[in-house]
């Protein structure tokens, strides 16, 4: 209707004034079309040149990996088709691979979480790569280490096979991560690496676990070996017998420090593609692990771990000086840790 009315208006006003813009519009469209044709053929030529320079293997990978894809557009940056030097990805050469890091703190369940991840046939999480000091000396060595890892040539006990579809590492806040947050975020976004934050809500329980673990490091209660994680009820019971005394004068400052580190981390890494997990939710919520697998783009499976939880009793039974701890936290913002 509207268009017709306009056309009628134009034809009734057959003066030069209306003819001129029509003609220039026509010229403009012809020019645009010509430009489009030229541009298209140039890119075609450029593509052909590029292809000539490619190796046989690369070409094969390229050709077979460009089939119809079900990957949502916003995830394209996080999907990779790496070609490792030390092995052939074989039948899975065109199975997309996601890169990830698990960001956590000591005694927050990340060891257990990683064994769960590694029980998935398509996930390979390669441990605390940055526990080795040389690899985190400066930002250059950090980025070089990450590059080496994500080439998929990095062989650890977590290495799977050619069908790995999610490949990553575990990175603790005190392993250089918080020393160069800006550069690391930039790297992660450029490289297309996703982040899983795994923290523990009850910082008091985490502190108790840290103290108990430090004690076992010194005393090696299990027949002379220190174990940070155990695989049997028996071992867990032996380790849980020790009830650490908590230094109450520094308790609130240490809880606050820990909480501030988590907040700083979440703030500085919020521009990454990420998900936030809490240890407590992992324990209670069966769907938490499905959400992790969906996030990593792998088929959802039942995951399992041989790890046995060490401290299962209520907090009052785990701390030597419980009364003192209770009095210190009662009435503060951290009182909530006492009831869990």
Ligand X SMILES: *[C@@H]1O[C@H](CO)[C@@H](O)[C@H](O)[C@H]1NC(C)=O
Q: Does 14 bind ligand X (CB under 6 A)?
A: no
* CB closer to ligand X out of 41 and 161: 161
- Exactly one of 234, 237, 257, 335 binds ligand X (CB under 6 A); that residue is 234
Q: Does 84 bind ligand X (CB under 6 A)?
A: no
Distances (CA, A) of 335 to 143, 178, 179, 280: 41, 28, 31, 17
Cβ atoms of residues 158 and 181 within 8 Å: no
Q: Does 58 bind ligand X (CB under 6 A)?
A: yes
Q: Does 122 bind ligand X (CB under 6 A)?
A: yes
| CB contact burial 210-236 (16+ within 10 A = b; e otherwise) | bbbbeebeeeebeeeeebebbeeeebb
Residue 297: CB minimum distance to ligand X, A: 8
Within 155-194, the residues that bind ligand X by CB under 6 A are 161, 163, 165
Q: Please work out, in degrees rounded to the nearest 5, the angle formed at the alpha carbon of residue 287 by the alpha carbons of 286 and 289.
A: 90
Q: Does 235 bind ligand X (CB under 6 A)?
A: yes
* CB closer to ligand X out of 139 and 222: 222
Q: Does 55 bind ligand X (CB under 6 A)?
A: yes
Q: Does 49 bind ligand X (CB under 6 A)?
A: no
Q: How far apart are CA 210 and CA 161, in angstroms?
A: 35
Size of the site for ligand X (CB under 6 A): 18
Region from 20-28, 170-178, 182-190, 231-239 binding ligand X, contact rule CB under 6 A: 231-239
Q: How far apart are CA 16 and CA 27, in angstroms?
A: 17
Q: Does 238 bind ligand X (CB under 6 A)?
A: yes
Q: Does 95 bind ligand X (CB under 6 A)?
A: yes
Region from 6-14, 40-48, 50-58, 315-323 binding ligand X, contact rule CB under 6 A: 50-58
Residue 278 β-bridge partners: 199
Q: Does 151 bind ligand X (CB under 6 A)?
A: no
Output the six-digit token pair for 219: 């005393």
Cβ atoms of residues 158 and 167 within 8 Å: no
Q: Is 110 exposed, middle or buried (0-12, 13-18, 19+ CB in 10 A)?
A: buried
- Exactly one of 80, 81, 94, 121 binds ligand X (CB under 6 A); that residue is 121
- Exactly one of 43, 57, 156, 287 binds ligand X (CB under 6 A); that residue is 57
Q: How far apart are CA 132 and CA 13, in angstroms?
A: 81
Region from 53-61, 125-133, 208-216, 271-279 binding ligand X, contact rule CB under 6 A: 53-61
Residue 170: CB minimum distance to ligand X, A: 21
Three-state SS at 295: helix
- Exactly one of 21, 299, 314, 320 binds ligand X (CB under 6 A); that residue is 299
Give the contacts of 244 (CB within 8 A, at least 6 positions apart).
208, 211, 212, 215, 318, 319, 320
Region from 6-14, 147-155, 196-204, 232-240 binding ligand X, contact rule CB under 6 A: 232-240
Candidates 162, 177, 140, 339; CA nearest to 265 is 177
Distances (CA, A) of 232 to 128, 131, 177, 235, 329: 23, 26, 33, 5, 33
* CB closer to ligand X out of 97 and 208: 97
Summarize as ranges the residues that interact with ligand X (CB under 6 A): 55, 57-58, 83, 92, 95, 121-122, 161, 163, 165, 222-223, 234-235, 238, 298-299
């Amino acid at each position: 209707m509207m268009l017709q009315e306009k056309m009628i208006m134009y034809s009734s006003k057959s003066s030069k004034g209306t003819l001129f813009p029509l003609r220039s519009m026509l010229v403009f469209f012809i020019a645009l079309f010509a430009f489009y044709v030229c541009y298209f053929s140039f890119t075609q030529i450029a593509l052909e040149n590029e292809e000539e320079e490619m190796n046989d293997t690369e070409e094969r990978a390229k050709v077979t990996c460009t089939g119809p894809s079900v990957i949502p557009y916003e995830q394209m940056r996080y999907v990779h088709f790496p070609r490792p030097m030390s092995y052939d990805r074989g039948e899975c050469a065109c199975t997309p691979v996601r890169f990830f890091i698990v960001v956590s703190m000591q005694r927050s369940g990340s060891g257990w979480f990683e064994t769960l991840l590694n029980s998935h046939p398509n996930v390979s999480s390669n441990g605390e790569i940055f526990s080795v000091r040389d690899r985190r000396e400066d930002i250059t060595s950090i980025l070089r280490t990450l590059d080496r890892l994500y080439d998929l040539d990095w062989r650890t006990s977590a290495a799977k096979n050619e069908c790995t579809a999610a490949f990553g590492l575990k990175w603790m806040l005190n392993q250089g991560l918080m020393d160069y947050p800006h550069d690391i975020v930039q790297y992660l976004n450029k490289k297309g690496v996703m982040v899983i934050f795994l923290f523990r809500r009850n910082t008091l329980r985490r502190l108790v676990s840290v103290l108990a673990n430090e004690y076992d490091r010194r005393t090696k209660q299990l027949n002379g070996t220190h174990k940070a994680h155990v695989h049997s009820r028996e071992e867990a019971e032996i380790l849980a017998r020790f009830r650490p005394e908590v230094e109450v004068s520094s308790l609130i400052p240490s809880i606050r420090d820990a909480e501030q580190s988590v907040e700083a981390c979440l703030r500085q890494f919020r521009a990454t593609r990420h998900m936030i997990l809490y240890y407590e939710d992992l324990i209670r919520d069966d769907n938490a692990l499905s959400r992790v697998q969906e996030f990593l783009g792998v088929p959802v499976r039942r995951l399992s771990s041989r790890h046995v939880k060490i401290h299962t009793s209520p907090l009052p039974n785990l701390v030597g000086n419980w009364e003192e701890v209770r009095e210190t936290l009662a009435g503060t913002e951290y009182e909530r840790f006492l009831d869990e």
